[in-house]
């Protein structure tokens, strides 16, 4: 995706939490792995008492809502996002939690912090949206202390590919226009990008799939994706999904999500 298109996509997708909420609702209700994505994400962290932690692209702050009871004593947290709407939503949700958190609108490509300020930087499902990703990775390395830990979740290339199979079915006939907005930083190509600036790069995957038993939440998900021209095929898609559900009892959508872990060289 071109930088200008990515910029437009991010601005319209994340001006408020509505699109992210529609997608989170589908995952929350129909994921086969009951362990829980945000619980698994937290399990991968090495967080220590007194750590100073920066999250980039924090969205609605769900990571911290889901793991509120697991936050180590004395941890200081800076939650940031490019979208002021997201920052406001995260602050509203986390304001009454006993977290030493501060909130700010920050672009990952230009971090307003001194060198070596943080022990940990977290970037969940957001680096694929950043046009100048190498500058963002350079900035992340700059604000980390030597040996500081970096965690970035993202998707694999086949993540939710079944969504597009349904769209391309003859009775729907929708063809995606333009490049996929998530292809620039995946579980397959992200490790090489991170290893240009970090050591100890590892990739871990969370096994899961969706088994969906109602059409409307899936349609809501499709509508949250910002797919150009989808509205003209929406009724065909609804009928196609209704037929699928009646024939199979549930609609399976494969997922492939995980984390890239690394640390700043000493």
Ligand X SMILES: C[S@@+](CC[C@H](N)C(=O)[O-])C[C@H]1O[C@@H](n2cnc3c(N)ncnc32)[C@H](O)[C@@H]1O
| Residues binding ligand X (CB under 6 A) | 10, 14, 20, 56-59, 62, 81-83, 86, 107-109, 124-126, 129-130
Pairing assessment for the beta strands 100-105 and 199-206 based on DSSP bridges: unpaired
- The minimum distance between CB 109 and ligand X, in angstroms, equals 6
Closer Cβ to ligand X, 110 or 242, answer by number: 110
Give Rg (Cα) of the chain.
Answer: 19
- The minimum distance between CB 86 and ligand X, in angstroms, equals 4
- The minimum distance between CB 89 and ligand X, in angstroms, equals 9
Closer Cβ to ligand X, 25 or 169, answer by number: 25
Closer Cβ to ligand X, 60 or 251, answer by number: 60
13 CB burial (10 A radius; 0-12, 13-18, 19+): middle
Closer Cβ to ligand X, 107 or 188, answer by number: 107
Closer Cβ to ligand X, 214 or 225, answer by number: 225
What does the block give as tokens for 141?
Answer: 């390395």
What whole-number distance in Å separates Cα of residue 225 and Cα of residue 215? 16
Q: What angle do CA 190, 191, 194 make, to 5 degrees?
A: 85
What does the block give as tokens for 179?
Answer: 């490049």
203 CB burial (10 A radius; 0-12, 13-18, 19+): middle
- The minimum distance between CB 128 and ligand X, in angstroms, equals 8
- The minimum distance between CB 244 and ligand X, in angstroms, equals 26
Closer Cβ to ligand X, 42 or 236, answer by number: 42
245 CB burial (10 A radius; 0-12, 13-18, 19+): middle
What whole-number distance in Å separates Cα of residue 83 and Cα of residue 61? 13
Q: Select the residue whose beta carbon is closest to ligand X and give its number.
A: 59
- The minimum distance between CB 100 and ligand X, in angstroms, equals 20
Closer Cβ to ligand X, 93 or 238, answer by number: 93
What does the block give as tokens for 72?
Answer: 């180590």
- The minimum distance between CB 106 and ligand X, in angstroms, equals 6
- Contact between residue 82 and residue 103 where contact means Cβ atoms under 8 Å apart: no
């Amino acid at each position: 995706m071109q930088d200008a298109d990515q910029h437009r996509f991010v601005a319209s997708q994340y001006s408020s939490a509505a699109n992210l909420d529609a997608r989170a609702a589908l995952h929350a209700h129909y994921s086969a792995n009951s362990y829980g994505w945000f619980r698994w994400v937290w399990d991968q962290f090495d967080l220590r008492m007194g750590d100073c932690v920066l999250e980039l692209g924090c969205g609605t702050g769900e990571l911290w809502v889901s793991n509120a009871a697991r936050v180590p004593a004395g941890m200081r947290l800076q939650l940031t996002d490019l979208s002021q709407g997201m920052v406001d939503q995260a602050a509203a949700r986390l304001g009454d939690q006993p977290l030493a958190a501060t909130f700010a609108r920050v672009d990952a490509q230009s971090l307003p912090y001194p060198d070596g300020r943080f022990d940990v930087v977290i970037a969940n499902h957001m680096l694929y949206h950043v046009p100048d990703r190498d500058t963002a990775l350079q900035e992340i390395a700059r604000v980390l202390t030597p040996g500081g830990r970096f965690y970035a979740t993202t998707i694999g290339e086949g993540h939710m590919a079944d969504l597009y199979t349904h769209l391309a079915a003859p009775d729907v006939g929708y063809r995606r226009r333009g490049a996929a907005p998530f292809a620039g930083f995946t579980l397959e190509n992200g490790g090489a990008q991170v290893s240009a600036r970090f050591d100890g790069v590892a990739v871990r995957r969370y096994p899961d799939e969706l088994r969906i038993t109602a059409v409307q939440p899936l349609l809501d998900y499709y509508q949250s994706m910002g797919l150009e021209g989808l509205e003209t095929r929406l009724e065909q898609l609804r009928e196609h999904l209704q037929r699928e559900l009646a024939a199979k009892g549930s609609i399976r959508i494969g997922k492939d999500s995980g984390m890239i872990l690394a640390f700043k060289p000493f």
